[in-house]
Amino acid sequence: DTPGAGFGTINIGHGSNIIIRNNWFHDQQYNPLQVGIIGGSITDNTFERIYPHLVGLGDAIQLWGGEWGSAVSTNVLIEDNTITFNDVSTEFPTHGIRLRPGADPADPGVDAPNIHINNNNFIDGGEGTTALAVLNQGTGTLDATLNWWGTTDGDEIAAMVSGDVDFIPCLSAEYIPSAVDMDATYTVPVIGISVAPSEVSFGEVEPGTPAPGNLPVIVTNEGTVAVDLDATIENELPASVYTGDPGLTIGGTHVSTWAGSAAVDGTSGALPLILT
């Protein structure tokens, strides 16, 4: 717990299908999480007391964008994290999330439109005046909607971000994952890939969350689900193909099962799912 004693807890230059979940990152120097991810998620983590490096800044989370041979991060979900930034008294700022640029000024950097930062709490410790919650140095507009910024004032939130960042709508209070309502029905958009008429692709539904998650499943028939390893879909997660009864659990996360029938082409529309 020595302030700023840790350094670079996780640094992955190039990885795919990565899940970073349920960690407490604290008292680190520069950045505890510096990763190049092609498909994956950073969820349910807590960040606090991150100290800047002598290079002049620090970040809780950095996504590599191609520098020094790293991956150009894309298809990443950053969700359900509590990120406290700017909470140590130093000469230099410490930011929340930074999407890094490319290896060369002409290179695109992080694929911002395919990075989704939602349902996080950004807590400004108020120690300095130049720290940012989100810094987008990648290419395109970053989806940072539905987060709690400590305020609902658009001008105040705008001052906490840099680069092309879409932060409206925002949450009106701190995000707290809700308990699972076993009787609730959620509507989940079909992920944009083509599948056989008997199969429909969905993202996983996290318990209590009416939005796509990060595990692709295929509804093969009523009451049966299977992990689809062949489809190329956002945030796909490799796993052994498994078909089971309703209530199937993979990696400790409940998978939604199909509870009805409808005719769709697998590229658009929405179908109801029920958590089991």
pTM higher than 0.85 for the full model?
no
Give pLDDT tens digits for 179-217: 433 333 333 333 322 223 233 334 443 333 332 333 333
d(CA 102, CA 154): 29
pLDDT in tens, 259-273: 333 222 333 233 333
Per the CB < 8 A criterion, the answer to whether 145 and 170 are in contact is yes
Which tens digits make up the pLDDT trace of 96-154? 999 999 888 778 889 999 999 999 999 999 999 999 999 999 999 999 999 999 999 99
Q: Which of 180, 172, 219, 228 is nearest to 200 (CA)?
A: 219
Domain residue extents for the chain: 6-166, 178-276
Partners of 274 in the beta sheet?
Answer: 185, 257
